[in-house]
Chain A
Amino acid sequence: QAVVTQEPSLTVSPGGTVTLTCGSSTGAVTSGHYPYWFQQKPGQAPRTLIYDTSNKHSWTPARFSGSLLGGKAALTLSGAQPEDEAEYYCLLSYSGVYWVFGGGTKLTVL
């Protein structure tokens, strides 16, 4: 089974920009992995931010964007706010048969 890797932790200054990445043990992440990004705050259920690499839901703040970068899926936060401090998970699809979550990135806004 594939392993999906994320940075364990990142720190960004308020108003700053940070990029979280999501890699795959099987090779480059492509649009065919249909990358998802989720945000989870302590004690809450996850919330979907990005689907199919770069698509946003109506509730996704405009400061979040998804892309492919250097063989990985990426979530970029531009203009970080204190309320963006959370755990972020990516999810990749493999052969349309199974999904795998990354281990999560704990983002600190400080």
Chain B
Amino acid sequence: QVQLQESGPGLVKPSQTLSLTCTVSGGSISSGSYYWSWIRQPAGKGLEWIGRIYTSGSTNYNPSLKSRVTISVDTSKNQFSLKLSSVTAADTAVYYCARTDVWGKGTTVTVSS
């Protein structure tokens, strides 16, 4: 079955760009009609939807983050990625990639100098 795995730096400096990759295994990211999403969760808090990319490549973003977020897909590597610019301590969270029915285990990103 399809599995997702997040990867990327666990520590990012303030004002820099956070970059994460989600690797899809057990199936092709190009097949079917799916949304591939990024979601985050600050410690002890709820889930926040960041954005998604459709199988066709079209994207939608959380309006509150839209100016700082870019989600892209690399079908040759069966991956999709998140870039979040101008990060602050408020962006510290566990970041999940998901296909809505399947979730990665999450990766912790801390924003600190």
Interface residues of A (CB under 8 A from B): 1, 36, 38, 40, 45-48, 51, 57, 89, 91, 97-104
Cβ contacts under 8 Å, A104 to chain B: 46-47
Cβ contacts under 8 Å, B37 to chain A: 99
When the two chains form their complex, are residues A98 and B60 in contact, meaning their CB atoms are under 8 A apart? Answer: yes
- Encode B77-105 as 1/0 by CB contact (under 8 A) with A: 00000000000000000001010111111
What's the Cα separation between A24 and B98 when bound, in Å? 23
When the two chains form their complex, are residues A46 and B49 in contact, meaning their CB atoms are under 8 A apart? Answer: no
A90–chain B nearest beta-carbon distance, Å: 10
When the two chains form their complex, are residues B101 and A51 in contact, meaning their CB atoms are under 8 A apart? Answer: yes
- Given contact pairs A40-B47, A45-B103, A46-B47, a sample of 17 additional A-B residue pairs in the complex whose CB atoms are under 8 Å apart: A36-B100, A38-B47, A45-B104, A45-B105, A46-B96, A47-B103, A51-B100, A51-B101, A57-B101, A91-B49, A97-B60, A98-B61, A98-B62, A100-B49, A101-B47, A101-B49, A104-B46
For the side of the interface on B, what is the size category? 20 to 34
A106–chain B nearest beta-carbon distance, Å: 11
- Asked if B26 is at the interface (CB within 8 A of a chain A CB), the reply is no
Residue of A nearest to B97 (CB): A45
Interface residues of B (CB under 8 A from A): 37, 39, 46-49, 52, 60-64, 96, 98, 100-106
Of A48, A51, A99, A103, the residue contacting B49 (CB under 8 A) is A99
What's the Cα separation between A1 and B49 when bound, in Å? 12
Cβ contacts under 8 Å, A38 to chain B: 47
Q: Is the interface of A mostly helix, strand, loop or mixed?
A: strand
A9–chain B nearest beta-carbon distance, Å: 13
Cβ contacts under 8 Å, A102 to chain B: 46
When the two chains form their complex, are residues A1 and B64 in contact, meaning their CB atoms are under 8 A apart? Answer: yes
Cβ contacts under 8 Å, A101 to chain B: 39, 46-49
